[in-house]
Amino acid sequence: MPGPETADRLLQGFAPVISRHAHRLILGSFPSEVSLAAGQYYAHPRNQFWRLLGDLTGEPLAARPYSERLKRVLVHRIGIWDVLHACERQGSGDAAIRNYQANTFARLRRLAPSLASVAFNGQTAGRFAPTFAAGGFQVAVLPSSSPAHAGRTYEQKLTIWKKWWDASEPENPATRRP
């Protein structure tokens, strides 16, 4: 008889980190076991998410306490969420996800009316890109920040993330040409 450690169980994801001023949204697939245990997005110490985002914003986000990281991403008009609300999974790998429930994204326009660009942190989350593109959002599927995806160096990932970041820069009405 399998013990509880071998049985799939329904896991619940996190609420979105977003404000009505958000212009960019980064969607992951589902929190890792480490993140679920910590109650924090991207809590695994080898996950490069906070380092990547820090390099994009010019702030040392990875060195800050979690609550401060969240405040700073909101200041930069960034939202963070996952494509999945709940799933069954053994371990942390996306390939082990079963019986998932997607988040309800219809409320995004109400939560963040300025939202224009949605980036997907990895291929699993990126499966939702066509839905967002059809909804009028600029979309990009980025290389995963997960330590399980070591096919690219940090610098290669940062280059791709920076292309998305630069392409999704909000227009500044003061610098718009006639």
Known catalytic residue: 121? no
Residue environment code for 8-26, b if the CB has 16+ CB neighbours within 10 A, otherwise e: eeebebbebbbeebbbbbb
Rounded to the nearest 10°, the torsion over CA 85, 161, 142, 50 is -40
List, in order, residues 6 or more apart from 14 with CB less than 8 Å away. Answer: 31, 39, 41, 81, 82
Query: Active-site residue among 47, 99, 103, 172?
Result: 47
| Catalytic residue list | 47
